[in-house]
Amino acid sequence: MKPTAPARTAIRGDLLDFVDVPARADASSPAVRFRADHWLLIEDGVIAGATADAPDAGWQRVDHAGKLILPGFIDTHVHSAQLDVIGSWGAQLLDWLETYTFPAEMRQADAAQAAMTAALFLDALLAHGSTSAVVFPTVHKVSVDALFEAAEVRGMRLVAGKVLMDRHAPEGLRDDVEQAQRECLELIDRWHGRGRLAYAVTPRFAPTSSDAQLAMAGELLQAREGLYMQTHVAENPAEVRWVAELFPEARSYLDVYARHGLLNERAVLAHGIWLDDSDRALLRERGAHIAFCPSSNLFLGSGLFGWAAAEEAGVGISLASDVGGGTGLSMQRTLADAYKVQAMAGTKLSAWALLHAATRGAARALHLGHEIGALESGATADVCIWDWAGSAVARQRQKMARDLHEKVFAWIMLGDERDLVESWVAGVCRHRRRATH
């Protein structure tokens, strides 16, 4: 039986979230809301408020005094079927797909395999402090059903959709326009808007869809209110050159999607490294945003994303693990890599800019700011409890921190999923760290 949320729960700890957008290099941003040693009040799976005073006996009390309480992380670009190839050696994007990714995704045609993968993947997200995600399953309809079914059981906020590929992919991973349209419509009818689930029209990337399939995807995007679109754009120089050869009429890689009606305010475009000013202006105009995947960009040698250029152009930015191109589901490690990538690019990011992009900033980019990403009254109680420090070195660093920003920055840089104590989804504890002896 699926566990239900206790009627009234109060969780004690140091509450940290955001009330506004922090400037990217402001270590003392007024957008930060920190409530040390407070009780977070949860009623029927929804945050009801916070108080410094211990609640009365009518509340189930969960005492995590001295620990850090954050909104659950939101991973805005991740591949559920690619856990099998995470950490694979020696390839850049295009040969990585052929050598590792496509064989792994073929296995998802089997219903039992798809169900096992979905359960493993979602439990792994929760064990890393990510309670919501925008996910690529595979081209197989059964993989989408398995993922949504598993997310529904866990009460998670999930955006996903059948991957569209009708060319430049091996047999067993290609569909056709008619089949893809039929299966997408069936999946939309079954899952979109059901509980906390939403459907994303999902062309893998421009090279693996024909003009006809991209046009069909654009039509699908108009089929139901609130549909998302997710894809990849301008990740790798060789990929960009290939797109230019395949779509010579398009001004740019991004323009391919615009021409087919695939850019709107719910479009999530992964990577966006090799964009120009005209592309960024188009993203701002359409309201689409970039899911920055620093760990993957480093691992595959793709390039350095221009955070400052995107932000100054008015383009929204969220953070994503991009497993399996990325090397782990830990959003702490993703934030740490984002800082390093931007340091190389000459941009200084505060802990606040990083953390915001993986919580409230991501939620707002997904038009879900009313539901996730903040410890706000009325939001769904997707909450994670963390140790401030898990090792002797990290504890010493925390002891020497001069202010809150220094504490949080050190927590990002020195921490990982081993610091996670509990993950709560809609007021239910879905992951608890095992006791160690």
Check pLDDT > 80 for residue 435: no
Residues 31 and 123 in one domain: no
Residues 31 and 110 in one domain: no
- The verdict on residue 53 lying in a domain is yes
pLDDT in tens, 250-260: 999 999 999 99
Residue 2: pLDDT band with limits 50, 70, 90: low
Average pLDDT over residues 239-244: 97
Check pLDDT > 80 for residue 217: yes
pLDDT in tens, 25-36: 999 999 999 999
Please state the pTM of the whole predicted model: 0.97
Residues 266 and 393 in one domain: no
- The verdict on residue 358 lying in a domain is no
Residues 233 and 156 in one domain: yes
Residues 304 and 174 in one domain: yes
Percent of the chain with pLDDT over 90: 91
pLDDT for res 436: 60
Residues 93 and 227 in one domain: yes
- The verdict on residue 369 lying in a domain is no
Residues 85 and 45 in one domain: no
Q: How many domains does the chain have?
A: 2
Average pLDDT over residues 337-355: 98
pLDDT for res 437: 38
Measured in Å, how far apart are the chain's first and last C-alpha atoms?
31
Q: How far apart are CA 139 and CA 162, in angstroms?
A: 5
Which CATH number covers residue 14?
2.30.40.10
Boundary-marking domain end, from 329, 358, 392:
329
Q: How far apart are CA 263 and CA 281, in angstroms?
A: 12
- The verdict on residue 98 lying in a domain is yes
Residues 96 and 16 in one domain: no
Domain hosting 423: range is 8-72+377-432
Residue 53 has phi, psi (to 5 degrees) of: -95, 145
Residues 324 and 200 in one domain: yes
Residues 65 and 88 in one domain: no
Cβ atoms < 10 Å from Cβ of 312: 11
Residue 296: pLDDT band with limits 50, 70, 90: very high
Average pLDDT over residues 46-62: 97
Which CATH number covers residue 280?
3.20.20.140
Residues 123 and 59 in one domain: no
pLDDT in tens, 382-402: 999 999 999 999 999 999 999
- The verdict on residue 359 lying in a domain is no
Tokens representing 203 are: 């062309």
- The verdict on residue 425 lying in a domain is yes
Q: How far apart are CA 332 and CA 412, in angstroms?
A: 5
pLDDT for res 1: 43
Boundary-marking domain end, from 329, 359, 390:
329
Q: How far apart are CA 199 and CA 300, in angstroms?
A: 28
- The verdict on residue 291 lying in a domain is yes
- The verdict on residue 219 lying in a domain is yes
Residues 193 and 228 in one domain: yes
